[in-house]
């Protein structure tokens, strides 16, 4: 059974990430709660997709600007900006994955974590 140890900062971060994705018309926003699993890299994954590499990059850039401006947080790391097929933004306990749709379908992160609580964000 997953525990609910998430902090107010994590919750605020997640909600701001979701809003930032929605601002740039990201699709199929999903939050996976990994807190109930031992030895995971993060407590939460936030996943979304876009139709082009330009939109993927725009979403990732917007997330970083909004989180920096509103929460004064910088990512621990960002990967995938060169091709912008899958950009990963690491905020420690919250990791953001912004995909092009075919890449998201191929890697199927939601399927890999099917035992975790998954929240689909209605837009």
Q: Which residues pair with 94 in a beta bridge?
A: 44
Whose structure tokens read 């600007």?
65
Find the angle CA(103)-CA(106)-CA(110) to the nearest 5 degrees.
100
For the segment 87-116, what is each residue's pLDDT rounded down to a tens digit? Answer: 999 999 999 999 999 999 999 999 999 999
* pTM, 2 dp: 0.92
- Round to whole Å and give the CA distance between 91 and 123: 24
Q: Please say whether the beta carbons of 9 and 44 come within 8 A.
A: no
- Round to whole Å and give the CA distance between 103 and 107: 6
Query: What are the chain's domains?
Result: 27-118 (3.30.460.10)
For the segment 2-53, what is each residue's pLDDT rounded down to a tens digit? Answer: 344 567 778 999 999 999 999 999 999 999 999 999 889 999 999 999 999 9
- Round to whole Å and give the CA distance between 95 and 47: 9
Q: Which residues contact 28 (CB under 8 A, 6 or more apart)?
A: 47, 48, 49, 104, 120
- Nearest in space to 34 (alpha carbons), one of 25, 43, 22: 43
Judge residue 46's burial from the number of C-beta atoms within 10 Å of its C-beta, 0-12 exposed, 13-18 middle, 19 or more buried.
Answer: buried
């Amino acid at each position: 059974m997953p525990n609910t140890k998430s902090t107010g900062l994590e919750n605020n971060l997640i909600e701001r990430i979701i809003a930032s994705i929605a601002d740039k018309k990201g699709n199929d926003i999903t939050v996976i709660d990994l807190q109930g699993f031992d030895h995971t890299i993060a407590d939460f994954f936030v996943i979304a997709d876009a139709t082009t590499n330009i939109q993927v990059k725009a979403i990732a850039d917007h997330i970083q600007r909004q989180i920096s401006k509103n929460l004064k947080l910088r990512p621990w790391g960002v990967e995938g900006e060169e091709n912008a097929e899958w950009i990963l933004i690491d905020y420690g306990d919250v990791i953001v994955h912004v995909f092009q749709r075919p890449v998201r379908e191929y890697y199927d992160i939601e399927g890999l974590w099917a035992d975790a609580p998954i929240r689909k964000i209605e837009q």
